Structure 1
Amino acid sequence: MPEDVFVLPVDRRLGAYTTLRRVGALPVVVVTHPRVRAAITLQGAQLVHWQPAGEEPVLWLSETTAFEEGRAVRGGVPICWPWFGAAGRPAHGFARVLPWELLDVDENGAGDEAGSGDEAVRLTLVLRASEASRAYWPHEFEVSARFVLGRECRIELEARGDFESTAALHTYLRVGDLEEVRVTGLGGPYVDKVLDAPVHTAPATDGIAFRGRTDRVYTSPDDVSRAADPAGKRVVEVRHEGHTDVVVWNPGADLARSMADVPDDGYREFVCVESAHVSRPLVSRPGTPARLGATLRIVSDA
């Protein structure tokens, strides 16, 4: 997403700080608040920009991604639902390529939900079963994505209906240099999907550094992961809620060169730390919705 999304023409004003604009073919909800700048595509309810005041953008977004209808946007926080990975088609589920409805905009502040009493903007988007969704999945459902955008960024996914699913909040964290990054708070056991190997166990205190393509599902993670980024001079915390797993992903040099929506050296600019519910299903029952959440915040300089 070009930085000038914040100066693009306004299609519709939704509040004092919130507008609807358009990037390529996609409508985008843009937040310009004294505490935060943010942007969410209506397709996929995908957060593509979050930047607390005085900070550099926290999320990575590919400069070569296409903002086209029915095509996944590369970067930000894609919502992978109702399946993760190649369990169905399209990969990572249909929720990220269908249009969602903007249900509510609340600019009155969110108290401590936004972190230390900061002001924030709250947005709620919803996706319901439709003819388009039934082409992929037979179930009736309603899934909501709630965002609290301030000094912290909170995302909550809530799925209502009678079904089982898997999900991930596929967070792309922007970093200064991948080779200097270390992610901790992952626990010990993990499934290595690059090697297609059974569960490994690493020392829980060591975390992970990145030396090539990385695709791991950590199956006993902590509730909080941290990405220390010395080149970017900060540490970003991801607080997981309702998760069974944390997925850590980076395509590495060789795979990145084969991806049209990742620049050849773009893989060095991000690491994915994903709040996930994939090793066991999310169970939604009538009156008992399933939830998955993540809260991002900058905790310190690296």
Structure 2
Amino acid sequence: MISHLFLNKTKSLTPSASLQVDKNGFEFLIIEHKKLAAAFTLHGGHLIHFQPVNQAPIIWLSKTAIFDDQKAIRGGVPICWPWFGPASPELGGNLPSHGFARTSKWSIGNIEETEEGVELELKLVSDEKTLAMWPYQFELTLKASLTEQLQLQLITENKGTQNFTYRSALHTYLNIGTPEAVKVSGLNETFANSLQNKQLETGDGSLAIDQAIDSIYNKAQGEIQLEDQQLQRTLTITNTGNDSEVVWSPWIEGATAFADMPDDGYQTMLCIESTITRSEGHFVSSGEQHILSTLIK
């Protein structure tokens, strides 16, 4: 899934983990374990690939994704933080959509590996640049547990003396066989349809993929399942710490408008995101932390 990137190893970190670069020097953290393969970029703390051995990839990455230090990467699991969508007007103008975490440089924390897989941490800490956009001190940790299943925990810690609220998304692009072979179930029955001015609608908690979708579902009561007849598998998604799930497919009109997605890219991806989207956000008092997570198996 990422062989087209033509990476060269620059440093071994553990028997399974290494730093690698592409022809432009863009840096990747690559995991090559006997049970799985995975890849992250330090730009954005961004998981771009996850594939258990002898399975199709679970995470989708655009073949025309742009890797630089400027924009978010198309595919994988972008981290939208500390806001989702546009920034609140009181923060000022000209702020990046979906926050600054997905375009910031993260650092590598602990990496531990076992017979079953790898656990690792990536970190982002407030500095002068982030404080100019969002006036709060924080430490943000992405904790990834990579085995035959994938768990991502986004840990937001308030390191300052002021309380704050935040909105966020683990904007997960899932790899699918083809839209007509996919059915989603286990969603909440109530959702806001962003393609219809966030009109509130109700359904039966299931979804077929046959057109553009951009919906904010109230938090699911349990597991969400993505049944894929072409890939002959069912993915089970369990989200915690969230208030909603966003389901998104750009369909052909959206895909052709993106410079960093092939025109047929919509045929092999579907986003089911663990999100905090309510306008009031999630409150984190001084010295406390909150965890937004997704588990995919």
Q: TM-score, normalised by structure 2?
A: 0.92
* Displacement of 1:25: 4.2
**Aligned position for 1:37:** 37
**Aligned position for 1:295:** 295
* Displacement of 1:222: 2.6
Mapped to 2, the partners of 1:95 and 1:103 lie a distance apart of 16
Answer yes or no: is 1:139 the counterpart of 2:136. yes
**Aligned position for 1:271:** 270
Identical positions, percent: 32
What's the C-alpha RMSD, in Å, of the aligned pairs? 1.6
Q: Pairwise mapping of residues 1-302 of structure 1 onto structure 2 (< 5 A)?
A: 2-3=2-3, 8-23=7-22, 24-87=24-87, 89-108=95-114, 119-161=116-158, 162-204=163-205, 207-279=206-278, 280-297=280-297
Contact 2:219–2:242 (CA<8 Å) still a contact in 1?
no
Mapped to 1, the partners of 2:68 and 2:176 lie a distance apart of 26
Distance 1:241 1:197, change over 3 A: closer
Contact 2:56–2:231 (CA<8 Å) still a contact in 1?
no
Unmatched segments (≥5 aa) in structure 2? 89-94
Question: In structure 1, the residue corresponding to 2:281 is in which secondary structure?
Answer: strand
Contact 2:2–2:49 (CA<8 Å) still a contact in 1?
no
Unmatched segments (≥5 aa) in structure 1? 110-118, 298-302
Question: In structure 2, the residue corresponding to 1:173 is in which secondary structure?
Answer: strand
Contact 1:25–1:68 (CA<8 Å) still a contact in 2?
no
* Displacement of 1:137: 1.5
Q: TM-score, normalised by structure 1?
A: 0.90
* Displacement of 1:27: 1.1
Name the count of aligned residue pairs: 285
**131-140 vs 42-51, which deviates more?**
131-140
Question: In structure 2, the residue corresponding to 1:238 is in which secondary structure?
Answer: strand
Question: In structure 1, the residue corresponding to 2:258 is in which secondary structure?
Answer: coil
Mapped to 2, the partners of 1:124 and 1:220 lie a distance apart of 26
Contact 1:188–1:220 (CA<8 Å) still a contact in 2?
no
